[in-house]
A and B are shown apart, each in its own frame.
Chain A
Amino acid sequence: MSEAILVLEDGRAFTGAAYGAPGETFGEAVFATGMTGYQETLTDPSYHRQIVVQTAPHIGNTGVNDEDAESRRIWVSGYVVRDPARRASSWRSIRSLQDELEAQGVVGISDIDTRALTRYLRERGAMRCGISSTDLDPDRLLRKVLAAPSMAGADLSAEVTTARPYTVEAIGARRFTVAAIDYGIKTMTPHRMAQRGITTRVLPSTSSVADVLAVGADAVFLANGPGDPASADDAVATVRELMRNRVPVFGICFGNQILGRAFGFGTYKLRYGHRGLNQPVQDRSTGKVEITAHNHGFAVDAPLDRVSETEFGAVEVSHICLNDQVVEGLRAKDTNAFSVQYHPEAAAGPHEAAYLFDRFSEMLEGTK
């Protein structure tokens, strides 16, 4: 077993074993608390440029299959686990996670105190980080970490978005067509829409208003994705223009932040973000709590105690996270637009927010 080191931008270092591909990697260290769904996590484009620390100690137990990936590749820039599986056990497993990481060149580290690292990130916030199995000198690695770009201000959609438009057809009869702007969309999202008779035209993140209108969609869907929403001025401008054209909008995650900015709200970076499958979100209209999948390091800064007046009429905070009162959803009262900060497509994660796709269908029904 060869050694590897992990160094944080403030100099804290951990020594462990090399895992995945040999080499060196840099990114923003974040922790994810999901106990299942590592394959979905690894392939979630929102994790682009991030080094993910899995708090669940055993990773890789069910191997890798060809059905559960959420995009065409692994996006995490580095992977930190405590006890990688020596053997995969699942009737669906095709290869081991170790092989998959190596094949895709993902550098990782194992056998470190992931809980100590998580507590450190919780107290000091997500920060830049480097992992190396080739240069075991922490000081040298630290210098490289400090030279790496930071997540604040990063505009990353262009790096993960699809190069060309593509279509995911409705399952059964097509009821609606939706244009999805791909800031880092996951496979499950168009699938959830397809299950509801929606054909999704997935468009590159740089698509213009004209590009979106050209596909003849009934609505636009703003996908999840990596990076700092504060730097996504073009996307915000596009969404404003679409809403001025009375195009209904549904956004999730990064899409929630874009919509929030389009309404005129600010966004900010959370100290260590929400990344897990157990986050309690309350729907403020019903008081009901849903357990939801989260992966966000930024959030919308909107007032919880009142309805906000915006260019597009009244907008309210529809959902909040019960753990920390962070804004988890927005709803326009005078126009057809709503969004949530979390992942109703839930891959990985609990399915109980899937009703949001139903709400979206109902909205489309109402506007038809």
Chain B
Amino acid sequence: MPKRTDISHILVIGSGPIVIGQACEFDYSGTQACRVLRSEGFRVSLINSNPATIMTDPEFADATYIEPLTTEFVERVIAVERPDAILATLGGQTALNLAVALHEAGVLEKYGVELIGADIDAIQRGEDRQRFKQIVRQAGGEVPESVVCRTLEEAVEFAATVGNRVVIRPSFTMGGLGSGLAGNADEVRTMVARGLAESPVHEVLVEQSVRGWKEFELELMRDRHDNVVVVCSIENLDPMGVHTGDSITVAPAMTLTDREYQRMRDLGIAVLREVGVDTGGCNIQFAIDPANGRMIVIEMNPRVSRSSALASKATGFPIAKIAAKLAVGYTLDEIPNDITMRTPAAFEPALDYVVIKVPRFAFEKFPGADPVLTTHMKSVGEAMAIGRNFTEALGKALRSMETKAAGFWTVAPMPSDDDADVDALLAQAAIPTDGRLYLVERALRAGATVEQVVEATAIDAWFVDQIALVVEIGADVRAAPTLTPQLLRMAKRHGLSDRQIAVLRPEFAGEDGVRALRQRIGIRPVFKTVDTCAAEFAATTPYYYSSYDEETEVEPQRDRQKVLILGSGPNRIGQGIEFDYSCVHAVQALRAAGYETVMVNCNPETVSTDYDTADRLYFEPLTLEDVLEVVHAERQSGDVAGVICTLGGQTPLGLAQRLKDCGVPVLGTQPEAIDLAEHRGAFGRVLAAAGLPAPKHGTATSFEQAKTVADGIGYPVLVRPSYVLGGRGMEIVYDEAHLSDYISRATEITAEHPVLVDRFLDDAVEIDVDALFDGADLYLGGVMEHIEEAGIHSGDSACALPPITLGAGDIAAVRQSTLAIARGVGVRGLLNVQYALVGDILYVLEANPRASRTVPFVSKATAVQLAKAAARIALGTTIAELRVEGMLPARGDGGDLPDDAPIAVKEAVLPFHRFRTSGGDQVDSILGPEMKSTGEVMGFDDNFGTAFAKSQAAAYGSLPVRGTVFVSIANRDKRAVIFPVKRLHDLGFRVLATAGTGQVLRRNGVRAEIVGKFSDGPGNVVERILAGDVDIVFNTPWGNSGPRIDGYEIRTAAVAAGIPCLTTVQAVAAAVQGIEELSRGEISVRSLQDLHAQLAAWRAGV
């Protein structure tokens, strides 16, 4: 069946900001979809609020709307664009929910828009748990005992009948939000109450627990001719009870016989047909009782999911791309497999390697959050590794994590085996947590048997035995009189890194010694191809992974110079999709400039690891050892110009110096310059030489030193460890006691890694700048003004571009200072500088000579692609040349935008509602100098108020235009909020306030109603918020944070109720402007192409 010709215009819905449970995998799938649909000749419109995505680059759609993903805004886009069809199955749960909401609101019918990919009935059959269970039974499958509850009482009653060991799953939430495993009646009560609140339809499924069973997933695809293929089977190493997003997963399934696998496959296909997913991908989860093989179907997602991204990267079968083709009418047999070129997509990939995905957590960012893994997803990212066997893949995956531990034994000192308490280790390993595998390894090393570990953890014996194999090899390496080539080869074959071997063999004095020996005796990895077919057919796509095996498959290529681009590794807070965006742009720019681009990365969610992105893809950990081997392989293949380390964030940046020391040319800004900017003392000298002021600061390696520095500077001070990204461990300290406490908690202070103590600038305007420098010219990419004051991490702060309150003089100062820093540091490419403007003084807070998190935002707001330009500058092209070429504007830059230029507002999206303490309380949603956000959205419009309102709608749903505002403000902020609150009052808002705030408001003519504080007992504000009586909260914090403290309770209640909660006076003022704009009437939508055309016209006219 060929392509449909009755539709010509398709609206693609993206997934919005990165949140836990929904990350950049949907940029990967959405980008593929847009690319496919356009190449098939469709007009493509796109709506997505996340600017840090490749899919929202203007060239990927005919009309790109960076607008909030709410039914109102999507309807406006539909009204403007009038598409024939909507594709919502590639934008995660967000897009799917929107599709359902648009259907229910009658929008699809009103505009005659067809939903393609999956129809409403199929979505509901897949997502409505009760209907889904019936379907499974009809298909001949088994399901756990369960009941759908709308009240607490129903749930409690049912749970008692199955011994209170139940799983609670709210309907229509993603990433297992609000779900959990209860073991007793009390837990049932708390969790059901929470689940009912999380579910948009106030409905939870209470289900008999199958905790400890083996867990599997199948990724399936179906076309409209009813052809079905299973793309990939995935086995969870962590048994049932841990969300699959938080589990270590393995592909293909390792512990099933063919009979069991085929039974699962048959049932999966039967369920898919019953649900009626007509075309596209879906994923189905199964649990198997390890004692007798009884199989239960757990759930299905009738859409492309995180697992499909993983399956695509794991097999080379591009699920999203194929799903898009199926959605427009093709059948699987009509679509070529683009790895083999000559066989069709109607087949099931065969793997001759093992793929392991390991989740990345960020508990260190949320003190107090319960680190026990449950059915509620908590990880913020993941890394995938490919090896020719399990142990090799596991070793690579663990060292891809970008954590202190990079595989077993790497956290010094290595715990001794002798004094280990096996029972205690087993008891610890029994509880699923981040890094449980390290405990399993320790237990085995301490003498636990495989059976004991299986008993304690319910991890399958085959997996435990594989860990035991690593333990045995480690012991052999450690005990051998000399490290023989045979033993070294064996260790490498089972995934041990040079660094791990160095821990076991101290005589090598570190991994460099091991590497030198290894290379001298010729033990190097070869590179194999991911080819979908286990070598049955020749592959045309250079998608490689390393293995200690015999034959390499890297082809020579001597026509074009090669450039390696190092990606950013697993997503974590502070390092996310923004860096992948810059890496992808570098690939695009350098490909276009005639280089062969070679991508190295280990994050399966990303566009950079799509084999369609770079000329060659190496799916490898970003460690020195692994990157050096890729460089070696590419040097064997041809001429390597060098490596780009400055676009992928901290991970590749941290490798730059060592790569250079190993003789690898580092392109662009040199490691010495990076060090100059990151090293406090050196950077201070750069500033001094340029005559630029910085807040007073000092460094300390002990409390006494810190105290001396702080006394000299004066409190409050900002303290943080050196060399960090995302403000890890950064705090504002108001007095000596607090300082002493900070130093005692910051355990890793050494002479090499001192604590930095800075004067904290109260009431400063914080300014963020992204600029390009080629050694002579500066191109100011964009000047962003933070909406929150200095002290909130820039990644968590909303900001506006062009800056809304800065004058030409301020911007001239910014330009001059930025140029001086770029020159002083020696930047060749991108530079990000953070300034604080206090009165007329522009303080330099910090400079980072690399692509920053804001590069995609600035690029979209100013219609200039900075990362592309940076990549070209790294290869020697000048800014002047790029202006001639048209990559940069012929004249002017991002610092001199016209006064009437459209305004872009970036807002951060925070994950507080996903974390709870072990007692079940939410963690505080207060912002500070340590970054906590997972993602961002952009509001883009003609004026600030509208742009801000859009950003809030995109991040939190919507700003209310009527209703009730609750105000509770710290004394220092009370004056500043009088006017904005009065405006709301005039607009008809009802105003609730705590006694102190209320008094100030009343004196200023606002009829505020006084409501009790949390500590005042029944009827207090927290209850009112939770009861839905409040539509927006203004609460600026003071004093301590923690449960039972008013501010904390208010903010967490707002998060739980899903209403906007503004915690700074600047944000309050901006919100009121936004509300005014909203209540003035229709907010229109405008495509990015249109906004960029406006900028281009202005530039042409300059």
> A: which residues have CB within 8 A of B?
14, 31, 33-37, 39-40, 55-58, 61-62, 65, 67-68, 82-83, 85-92, 112-116, 118-119, 122, 276-280, 282, 287-289, 291, 322-324, 346-352
Contacts and interface: CB of A to CB of B under 8 A. Distances in A.
B808 to A, nearest CB: 64
Given A87-B461, A88-B462, A291-B348, 19 more contacts: A14-B550, A31-B536, A55-B350, A57-B354, A68-B259, A83-B388, A86-B465, A112-B550, A119-B535, A278-B350, A287-B225, A288-B225, A291-B346, A323-B342, A323-B343, A324-B343, A347-B258, A347-B259, A348-B258
Contacts of B550: 14, 112-113, 116
Given A87-B450, A89-B460, A91-B290, A55 B348 contact: no
A56 B257 contact: no
Interface in B530-563: 533-538, 549-551, 553
Interface string B388-428: 11100000000000000000000000000000000000000
Interface stretch (B160-168, B261-269, B986-994, B1037-1045): B261-269
B523 to A, nearest CB: 14
B262 A349 contact: yes
B257 A322 contact: no
A91 B333 contact: no
Contact of B350 (A35, A62, A350): A35
Given A322-B346, A323-B347, A349-B258, A291 B229 contact: yes
What band does the interface of chain B fall in when counting residues whose beta carbon is under 8 Å from A? 35 or more
Contacts of A90: 255, 257
A289 B255 contact: no
A36 B350 CA distance: 10
Contacts of B257: 36-37, 39, 62, 65, 68, 90, 92
Interface in B326-368: 331-333, 342-344, 346-354
A57 B346 contact: no
B456 to A, nearest CB: 16
Contact of A289 (B227, B352, B388, B389): B227
A81 to B, nearest CB: 11
A58 B390 contact: yes
Interface in B248-301: 252-259, 261-262, 265-266, 269, 290-293
Contacts of A67: 259
A351 B266 contact: yes
Contacts of A31: 534-536
19 contacts: A14-B550, A34-B258, A56-B252, A58-B390, A68-B257, A68-B259, A82-B389, A87-B462, A115-B528, A116-B549, A118-B352, A118-B534, A118-B535, A119-B551, A276-B536, A278-B348, A279-B347, A289-B332, A322-B344
B154 interface: no
Given A55-B352, A115-B388, A350 B346 contact: no
Nearest to A274: B536
Contacts of A33: 350, 352, 533-534, 536
A112 B265 CA distance: 31
Given A62-B255, A350-B262, A56 B462 contact: no
Interface of B: 225-227, 229-230, 233, 252-259, 261-262, 265-266, 269, 290-293, 331-333, 342-344, 346-354, 388-390, 450, 460-462, 465, 469, 528, 533-538, 549-551, 553
Most chain A CB within a 10 A radius of its CB, from B350, B351, B353: B350
Contacts of B269: 352
Contacts of B343: 280, 322-324
Contacts of B460: 89
Given A33-B534, A87-B465, A57 B290 contact: no
Nearest to B344: A322
Most chain A CB within a 10 A radius of its CB, from B256, B535, B551: B535
Contacts of A352: 269
A328 B349 CA distance: 20
Contact of B262 (A279, A322, A346): A346
Contacts of A57: 352-354, 388-389
B351 A35 contact: yes
A346 B259 CA distance: 10
Contact of A115 (B347, B352, B538): B352
A206 B964 CA distance: 91
A217 to B, nearest CB: 29
Contacts of A280: 333, 343-344, 346-347
A56 B225 contact: no
B1087 to A, nearest CB: 40
Contact of A36 (B229, B261, B353, B528): B261
A71 B344 CA distance: 34
Nearest to B1: A287
Contacts of B390: 58, 83
A293 to B, nearest CB: 9
A352 B549 CA distance: 36
Given A119-B535, A280-B333, A282-B333, A36 B256 contact: yes
Contacts of A115: 352, 388, 528, 534-535, 549, 551
Nearest to B352: A55
Contacts of B230: 291
B225 A91 contact: no
A56 B351 contact: yes
Contact of A55 (B227, B462, B534, B538): B534
Contacts of B351: 35, 56
Nearest to B529: A115
Contacts of A118: 352, 534-536
A59 to B, nearest CB: 11
Contacts of B292: 91
Which 4 residue pairs of A and B lie closest in terms of their CB atoms, listed nearest first?
A37-B258, A348-B258, A116-B551, A113-B550
Given A36-B257, A40-B258, A58-B354, A323 B537 contact: yes
A322 B533 CA distance: 14
Contact of A82 (B388, B450, B462, B538): B388
Contacts of A88: 462
A351 B388 CA distance: 29
A34 B258 CA distance: 9
Nearest to B251: A35
B107 to A, nearest CB: 36
Contacts of A56: 252, 350-352, 534
A34 B469 CA distance: 25
Contacts of A282: 333
A177 B141 CA distance: 33
B462 A36 contact: no
A122 B551 CA distance: 15
B833 to A, nearest CB: 50
B227 A288 contact: yes
A291 B230 CA distance: 9
B266 to A, nearest CB: 6
A122 B536 contact: yes
B389 A83 contact: yes
A205 to B, nearest CB: 27
B225 to A, nearest CB: 6
Contacts of A322: 333, 343-344, 346-347
Most chain A CB within a 10 A radius of its CB, from B293, B344, B528, B549: B549
A44 to B, nearest CB: 12
A58 B254 CA distance: 8
A352 B537 CA distance: 24
A324 B535 CA distance: 15
B292 to A, nearest CB: 6
Contacts of B226: 288
Contacts of A65: 257
A89 B461 contact: yes
Contacts of A122: 535-538
B293 A36 contact: no
Most chain A CB within a 10 A radius of its CB, from B292, B344, B352, B461: B352
A289 B227 CA distance: 6
A262 B1026 CA distance: 80
Contacts of A36: 253, 256-258, 261-262
